[in-house]
């Protein structure tokens, strides 16, 4: 089997919805400012005692059900997150335990908002190398736990959720190409300074929003060109853009670059906010389940985030 192909998708959003109207009551902002600048109306927030692995579990169960596979056939778990339950063990191991799967490799991958693209590329390479046949790939983040809810310059962006796919070895075409990049010289522009070995500075997100915005737009334009060129495709060959949901204005800019109307762009940012590694698999699952994305269509996924990291995946669904 030469290819890796998505067999099924799943996603999960916490029950609690935090609207812009509620934020108006706690910080100096307006629904109009948030919606005009970001396209966000509301976001979901994890409950007390609810962790990233709990969201990942719900999304994974739905992806497994949609794929119609025996859960024990999963032979790799890759989980992208910036908000693990614990310092260790990995959230992937906690998810493995909750699913009752034993003895397959399971690890977390940290590439912030590009996490799902990185995780999918990693699983694709495992499968193409013959090291796995059936991978569970998850993007899950509880960004509300690392957000300073008094900082209006970025708290309005973030939300919580999880998305998952089952990626299987296949004779049919699936993932066509993956493109991953990073440039650590920009580490300070979007970060949570305090970690584990470094116990100094803020424990919540610091972002130079406007500079990050400009970098994201230019970088995503370039990766769209690279991805099309690597596959010998024209812009018009792409059926759906499933982008990382950072800000509607970034999505609109990439759509313009592709000469694509916004009704071919899967947009969830209005209801989900920016869920970091979860945003692409959440959007993919929404559009697969509502019947927009159909088997055989060509999908471009792209993301940009802290690091900086960025990347794309081109696939036949
Ligand atoms: O997913 C990972 C990558 N992350 C991103 O891609 C995020 C990229 N950045 C963004 O999405 C945008 O930069 C933000 C939405 C975070 C901010 O929008 P902006 O258009 O870049 O606004 P700004 O930071 O340049 O601020 C413009 C004005 C400022 O006021 P003055 O100095 O012009 O008087 C801010 O103080 O808007 C003010 N402002 C606000 N006003 C009302 C900033 N935040 C708010 C707010 N409500 N929440």
Residues in the chain: 317
Residue 76 has pLDDT above 80, yes or no: yes
Q: Which atom of ligand 1 lies at the shortest distance from residue 156's CA?
A: 48
Strands in 150-283 per DSSP E: 160-170, 175-182, 190-191, 206-207, 240-243
Q: What whole-number distance in Å separates Cα of residue 243 and Cα of residue 263?
A: 13
Give the chain's mean pLDDT. 97
The contacts of residue 242 (CB under 8 Å, 6+ apart) are: 266, 280, 283, 284, 287, 293, 299, 300, 301
Q: Is residue 244 flagged as an active site residue?
A: yes
| Distance (Å) from CA 136 to ligand 1 centroid | 36
User: Where do the domains of the chain lie, and which CATH numbers do they carry?
Assistant: 3-170 (3.40.47.10), 175-316 (3.40.47.10)
113 is catalytic: yes
Question: Does position 2 have pLDDT exceeding 90, yes or no?
Answer: no
> Which member of 113, 134, 155, 272 is catalytic?
113
Distance CA(16)–CA(25), nearest Å, equals: 17
Residue nearest to atom 42 of ligand 1 (CA): 29
CA separation for the pair 282, 284 (Å, rounded): 5
Beta bridge partners of 19: 42
* CB 10, CB 240: distance < 8 Å: no
Beta-bridge partners for 170? 3
Closest Cα to atom 44, ligand 1: which residue? 153
123-162 residue pLDDT tens: 999 999 999 999 999 999 999 999 999 999 999 999 999 9
Average pLDDT over residues 30-41: 98
> Does the global pTM surpass 0.75?
yes
């Amino acid at each position: 089997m030469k290819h890796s192909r998505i067999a099924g998708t799943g996603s999960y959003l916490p029950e609690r919805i935090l609207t812009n109207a509620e934020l108006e009551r706690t910080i100096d902002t307006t629904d109009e400012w948030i919606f005009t600048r970001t396209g966000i109306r509301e976001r979901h927030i994890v409950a007390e005692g609810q962790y990233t692995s709990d969201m990942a579990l719900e999304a994974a169960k739905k992806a497994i059900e949609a794929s119609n596979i025996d859960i024990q056939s999963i032979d790799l778990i890759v989980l992208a997150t910036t908000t693990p339950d614990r310092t260790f063990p990995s959230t992937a191991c906690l998810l493995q335990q909750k699913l009752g799967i034993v003895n397959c490799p399971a690890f977390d991958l940290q590439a912030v908002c590009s996490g799902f693209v990185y995780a999918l590329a990693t699983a694709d390479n495992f499968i193409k190398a013959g090291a796995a046949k059936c991978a569970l790939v998850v993007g899950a983040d509880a960004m509300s736990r690392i957000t300073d809810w008094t900082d209006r310059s970025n708290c309005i962006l973030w939300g919580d959720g999880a998305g998952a796919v089952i990626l299987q070895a296949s004779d049919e075409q699936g993932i066509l190409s993956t493109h991953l990049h990073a440039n650590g010289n920009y580490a300070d522009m979007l970060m949570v300074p305090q970690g584990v070995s470094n116990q100094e500075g803020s424990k919540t997100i610091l972002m130079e929003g406007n500079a990050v915005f400009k970098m994201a737009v230019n970088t995503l334009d370039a990766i769209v060109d690279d991805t099309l060129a690597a596959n010998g495709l024209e812009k018009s060959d792409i059926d759906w853009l499933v982008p990382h949901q950072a800000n509607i204005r970034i999505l609109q800019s990439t759509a313009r670059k592709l000469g694509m109307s916004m009704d071919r762009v899967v947009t969830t940012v209005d209801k989900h906010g920016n869920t970091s590694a979860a945003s692409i698999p959440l959007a993919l699952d929404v559009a697969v389940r509502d019947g927009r994305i159909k088997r055989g269509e060509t999908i471009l996924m792209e993301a940009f985030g802290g690091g900086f990291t960025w990347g794309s995946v081109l696939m036949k669904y």
